[in-house]
Amino acid sequence: MKLYQQHTIAVAPMMDWTDRHCRVFHRRLNPAVQLFSEMVTAKAVIHGDRARLLGFSAEEGAPVLQLGGSDPRELAAASRIAAEWGYGEVNLNVGCPSDRVQGGRFGACLMTEPALVGDCLAAMGEGGLPVSLKCRIGVDDQDTETALDAVADEAVAAGVSAIWVHARKAWLAGLSPAQNRDVPPLDYDRVHRLEARLDIFVGINGGIADAATVARELAVVDGVMIGRAAYQRPGLLAELAGYRGEESFRHRLAVARSMADYAEEWIAAGGRLAHVVRHMLGLFHGEPGARAYRRTLTVAGQAPDAEPDLLRAALEAIERAADTAARRAAEKDAIAA
């Protein structure tokens, strides 16, 4: 039984990126997108600063909390806490290849321990929330046919609502986490075969960078998860919400202005403008004035005393640049005619 809605578009959990401010920004760009937290270890949820680690805005809806860990008891406790905080789902990370994660016996190295993955997922279900899995197609020299099926079958037996698959192997030695996002080749067909075999929601992740690829994959699998493209070029989220051309530009401007108001509230609560605007640098990628906009936010926007009016001024400059470019294009067309 597929519990997720088909044709789900999600923004991937990304360490140091998909924090509470990023998620509000993405929600405003696309009200329908599924939001995931950064990965938080089960130990941190149990013993850490929960307000800092777990806090989120009601505007986000009920995001998915991604957990890291390999101790079923700790994961069960963390899942119960996630339910208390209002998350809509918990997700187990079986895809991160970093040395730190491997040292803690979780992340992608769990691809070699499918029975333990099943135990962890079953324990997470004790928290009362739906549970999902995010994994790789395999690690190192594993046969991806048997490795992915073994983990997926354990997940199904544990009662997960969804399996999200990053369509690359992870190399646990010799490649950095950044290289593991690019160097191992993508194998979308392997994820397609898993989707055809299972009767639960299967979503795909990895290398998805444009709306055409999203549409192509949604014709085959149940959901698409976008990572770096959604963060570095967040206008893609507006495009996937149906905004095109001038309408997209105006929508992005409106969202950015609303984020200035959001930043005022965050600063009043003791935060800094940089916490908010660092997620907005690629919003006008490819537009006239985008370079000056990024420079303003990455230099002046990082000052401890930076105010939201800095963002508003940068947006006014973007709008002026767009108007100038449109006027010059019209003049050029008139001369050509």
Q: Is 225 marked as a binding-site residue?
A: no
Can you spell out the DSSP letters for 263-324?
HHHHHHTT--HHHHHTT-TTTTTTSTTHHHHHHHHHTGGGSTT--HHHHHHHHHHHHHHHHH
**Which residues are CB-contacts of 275 (< 8 A; sequence separation ≥ 6)?**
19, 21, 266
Q: Is 134 marked as a binding-site residue?
A: yes
Q: Is 332 marked as a binding-site residue?
A: no
Direct distance between the N- and C-terminal alpha carbons of the chain, in angstroms, rounded to an integer: 60
6 near 223, Cβ under 8 Å? yes
Q: Is the same domain home to 207 and 271? A: no
Least Cα distance to 263 among 280, 248, 285, 249 occurs for: 280
- How crowded is residue 115: how many other Cβ atoms within 10 Å of its Cβ? 11
**Which pLDDT score is estimated for 3?**
44
Of 201-210, 245-254, 325-334, the range with the lowest mean pLDDT is: 325-334
Specify if 2 maps to a domain.
no
| Catalytic choice (96, 109, 120, 135) | 96
By three-state DSSP, how is residue 62 classified?
coil
In angstroms, the Cα distances linking 252 to 11, 63, 233, 262 are 18, 22, 11, 15
**Which pLDDT score is estimated for 102?**
57
68 near 113, Cβ under 8 Å? no
Q: Is the same domain home to 222 and 269? A: no
Interval 154-196: pLDDT, tens: 999 999 999 999 999 998 876 667 676 767 899 999 999 999 9
Q: Is the same domain home to 253 and 181? A: no
Domain stop point among 212, 240, 268: 240
**Which pLDDT score is estimated for 2?**
42
Q: Give φ, ψ of 96 to 5 degrees.
A: -75, 130
**Which pLDDT score is estimated for 27?**
98
Domain stop point among 219, 240, 261: 240
Token representation of residue 227: 């990572």
Look up residue 197 and give its amino acid.
Answer: R
Q: Is 228 marked as a binding-site residue?
A: yes
Interval 8-34: pLDDT, tens: 999 999 999 999 999 999 999 999 999
Known catalytic residue: 120? no
d(Cα 84, Cα 77) in Å, to the nearest integer? Answer: 11
Q: Is the same domain home to 68 and 151? A: yes
d(Cα 229, Cα 325) in Å, to the nearest integer? Answer: 26
CATH number for the domain harbouring residue 312: 1.20.120.1460
Q: Is the same domain home to 224 and 253? A: no
Q: Is 55 marked as a binding-site residue?
A: no
Token representation of residue 301: 């926007």
Q: What is the pTM of this model?
A: 0.93
Interval 194-241: pLDDT, tens: 999 999 999 999 999 999 999 999 999 999 999 999 999 999 999 999
Q: Is the same domain home to 195 and 274? A: no
Q: Is 14 marked as a binding-site residue?
A: yes
Q: Is the same domain home to 307 and 197? A: no
Residue ranges with strand state E in the chain: 8-11, 34-41, 64-68, 89-94, 131-139, 162-170, 201-205, 223-226
- Residue 139 clears pLDDT 50, i.e. is over it: yes
167 near 128, Cβ under 8 Å? no
CATH number for the domain harbouring residue 82: 3.20.20.70
Q: Is 180 marked as a binding-site residue?
A: no
Task: Give Cα 59 distance to the centre of its chain.
Answer: 16
201 near 155, Cβ under 8 Å? no
Q: Is the same domain home to 166 and 262? A: no
Interval 84-98: pLDDT, tens: 999 999 999 999 887
Q: Is the same domain home to 89 and 132? A: yes
Q: Is the same domain home to 303 and 278? A: yes
Q: Is 294 marked as a binding-site residue?
A: no
Specify if 106 maps to a domain.
yes
**CA angle centred on 274, ends 269 and 275, rounded to 5°:** 55
**Which pLDDT score is estimated for 101?**
62
Q: Is the same domain home to 143 and 203? A: yes
Supply the range of the domain harboring residue 154. 8-240
Q: Please count the structural domains in the chain.
A: 2
Q: Is 142 marked as a binding-site residue?
A: no
By three-state DSSP, how is residue 331 classified?
helix
Per the document, the length of the chain is: 337
- Residue 38 clears pLDDT 50, i.e. is over it: yes
Q: Is 61 marked as a binding-site residue?
A: no
Q: Mean per-residue pLDDT for 104-127?
A: 94
Domain stop point among 209, 240, 271: 240
Q: Mean per-residue pLDDT for 63-80?
A: 97
Specify if 1 maps to a domain.
no
Q: Is the same domain home to 47 and 81? A: yes
What is residue 186's DSSP assignment? Answer: P
Specify if 197 maps to a domain.
yes
Q: Is 1 marked as a binding-site residue?
A: no
Q: Mean per-residue pLDDT for 115-131?
A: 98
